[in-house]
Structure formats: C-alpha cells, structure tokens
Amino acid sequence: MEHIENITEIRAAVKHILFEEYHLESVNDIFDLDGETLAEMYEQFKCVMEEYGLDGEDVESILNGIDG
C-alpha cells in the first residue's frame, strides 16, 4: 500500500463504522450483510473517502489492514 496521510485516523474512522455502528466482529462479516445495510455502510465509507481524498483501492487496503 502506498503511503496514505492520516492512516491511523482513517483506520479509526473505518473501525468505528464497522465495529461500533454495525457491531461486526470482523471485516469478513461485511459479506453477511443485507443490501440495505451495505448501502448505508457504503455511504458512510464514501464520506470518509471524500474527507480524506481516498479511492476504492485505498479503502480496500485499509480494510485489509484492519482485524476485528
């Protein structure tokens, strides 16, 4: 993964979404969510992406670096 500014802050935001708001136990639990919940989560990730100037590959790298 290329250097991403504020990676610690971004990971904290993503972890909050996954584990605090959606109560997932691991990143892999995303695959068990229904379409409506996934759409809601996507909108939250989209806000994080826009705030930090990330693209989809950056988010994938961040998710791969998170263990729940």
Reduce the secondary structure of 20-35 to three states and give it as a string: HHCCCCCHHHHHHCCH
CB 32 within 8 A of CB 23: no
**Is position 55 within any domain?**
yes
**Is position 2 within any domain?**
no
- Lowest mean pLDDT: which of 6-15, 33-42, 50-59? 50-59
CA separation for the pair 18, 53 (Å, rounded): 20
**Is position 51 within any domain?**
yes
pLDDT band at 3 (very low <50, low <70, confident <90, very high): low
* Continuous H helices in the chain: 7-15, 35-52, 56-64
pLDDT of the residue at 7: 84
Contacts of 40 (CB under 8 A, 6+ apart): none
What is this structure's pTM? 0.81
**Is position 1 within any domain?**
no
